[in-house]
Homo-oligomer: A and B are copies of this chain.
Amino acid sequence: MGTTHTHRTVTLAWIAAWLLVAVAAAGSAFAQSTAAGQNRVVMQVSDADPGKWNLALNNARNLQADLGAANVEIEIVAYGPGIGMLKSESVVGNRIGEALGTGIKVAACENTMRGQKLQKGDMLGGISYVGAGVVEIMQRQQQGWAYLRP
């Protein structure tokens, strides 16, 4: 009887261990699905067109107005011909400052900067830098962010 009892206890323990694995795996997958439901948007700015720069900033402002600035994470990534949006002399410099103030992340592509011989001192203050704009945009989508090309 004692042997049988021990045997069953071991079997139950083994089942319980597998249960934990199943629950953990399911929980992990579930958490990722839930994370994908968060309000996160990565915006691409790759045109040398101040009209597009203003549109991107309008889109960001509307996302914040509709959802509440605290409830949406926004990252604007400028690269290629769009890098001018973030130069010191940018015509939307004031609006970038305002956007940064509301918690929007604004990132310049260092690949593009190297290609155009731009230093950080040539750029607007307060912005972020990413190694490669396209990689950043790809990775954000992999992390579940929505993509918007204004």
What bracket does the count of chain A residues touching chain B fall in?
A: 35 or more
A74 and B101 alpha carbons, distance in the complex (Å): 36
CB of A31 to closest CB in B, whole Å: 9
With A18-B23, A29-B29, A29-B30 as contacts: A137 and B142 at CB distance below 8 Å = no
Interface of A is mostly: helix
Nearest residue, chain B, Cβ from A80: B55
Question: Least Cβ distance of A85 to chain B in Å?
Answer: 16
List B contacts of A41 (CB < 8 A).
134, 138
**Which residues of chain A in 51-85 are interfacial with respect to chain B, using CB atoms and an 8 Å cutoff?**
55, 58-59, 62-63, 65-67, 80-81
Q: How far is the CB of A18 from chain B (nearest CB, A)?
A: 5
Contact with B along A3-20 (1 / 0, CB 8 A): 011001001100110110
Residues of B within 8 A of A39 (CB): 138, 142
A32 located at the interface, meaning its Cβ lies under 8 Å from any Cβ of chain B in the complex: yes
Chain A residues proximal to chain B, CB less than 8 Å: 4-5, 8, 11-12, 15-16, 18-19, 21-23, 25-30, 32-33, 36-39, 41, 44, 46, 55, 58-59, 62-63, 65-67, 80-81, 111, 131-135, 137-138, 141-142, 144, 146-150
Whether B81 and A55, one on each chain, are in contact in the complex, defined by CB atoms closer than 8 angstroms, is yes
Separation of A134 and B43 alpha carbons in the complex (Å): 11
A69 CB → nearest B CB, Å:
13
Q: Is the CB of A63 within 8 A of B138?
A: yes
